[in-house]
């Protein structure tokens, strides 16, 4: 008998699964029973090996998501290789840092194209398939800056604010068609993207002092939230942005 968190027989497409948050989410989904398509510009050999060691199927699907050119082909390839697509995790993302008065158009476009434009068109391509089969789960990765402004990351803040709005819009359109669209907003998680903040002694101290849990998050801390939003346990959850932040927003 399947439990509400059982993902056996499901296929999950996870972007940016080579390291950090994407890898942790892919491994958590696999541990719950899902097969994994690891999509991204950087090969995810380690992730694939760990998923296969669990007895799940895993394949790498190379794609540069800085443009939408490969998007439909990626979804088609995953469906063809695995026989379907049940879960999409839009995790791939980039960040550029500079004072807003100095921020360049190139850095603006690079972040918006990867973090928002490609996310929408991946949702669209996967959503068409999921609507056709009458079920599916889409999990977008938002941010604390979906709720807050931040500093020195204007395009990142804009993109993640957009991800929050997009998640709600798609939920409005697709919830009645069997497709749940939600998001996870990670707090301050120790990854490559936050290396500069961790290395800044003053900012690092300020961040930890504000987090009620008293520590930076670990990528694995997102695993339970991802499994919940990918599983039948969240069948009546739509358009929600689930903060996994150690209590940051509560402070």
Our CA dihedral for 239, 172, 137, 78, rounded to 10 degrees, sits at -130
Over the range 79-113, which residues count as b (16 or more CB within 10 Å of their CB) and which as e? beebebbbbbbbbbbbbbeeeeeebeeebbebbbb
Name the one residue in this structure whose structure tokens are 């050119």: 69
Two tokens, residue 247: 């209590």
Over the range 10-24, which residues count as b (16 or more CB within 10 Å of their CB) and which as e? bbbbbbbbbbbbbbb
> What positions carry a catalytic annotation?
156
Residue 185's φ and ψ, nearest 5 degrees, are -110, 100
How many CB atoms sit inside 10 A of residue 121's CB?
17
CA 11 to the chain's CA centroid: 15
Two tokens, residue 111: 């972040």
């Amino acid at each position: 008998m399947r439990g509400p968190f059982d993902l056996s027989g499901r296929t999950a497409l996870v972007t940016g699964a080579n390291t950090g948050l994407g890898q942790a989410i892919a491994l958590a989904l696999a541990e719950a029973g899902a097969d994994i398509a690891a999509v991204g510009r950087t090969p995810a050999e380690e992730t694939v090996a760990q998923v296969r060691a669990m007895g799940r199927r895993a394949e790498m699907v190379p794609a540069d998501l800085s443009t939408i050119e490969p998007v439909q082909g990626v979804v088609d390839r995953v469906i063809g290789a695995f026989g379907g697509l049940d879960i999409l995790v839009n995790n791939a993302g980039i960040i550029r840092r500079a004072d807003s008065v100095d921020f360049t158009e190139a850095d603006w476009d690079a972040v918006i194209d990867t973090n928002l434009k490609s996310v929408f068109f991946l949702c669209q391509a996967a959503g068409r398939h999921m609507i056709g089969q009458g079920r599916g789960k889409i999990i977008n990765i938002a941010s604390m800056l979906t709720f807050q402004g931040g500093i020195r990351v204007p395009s990142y803040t804009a993109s993640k604010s957009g991800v929050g709005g997009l998640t709600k819009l798609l939920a409005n359109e697709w919830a009645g068609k069997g497709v749940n669209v939600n998001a996870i907003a990670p707090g301050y998680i120790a990854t490559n993207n936050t290396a500069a903040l961790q290395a800044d002694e003053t900012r690092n101290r300020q961040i930890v002092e504000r987090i009620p849990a008293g520590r930076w998050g670990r990528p694995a801390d997102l695993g339970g939230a991802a499994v919940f939003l990918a599983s039948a346990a969240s069948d009546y959850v739509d358009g929600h942005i689930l903060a996994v932040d150690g209590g940051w927003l509560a402070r």
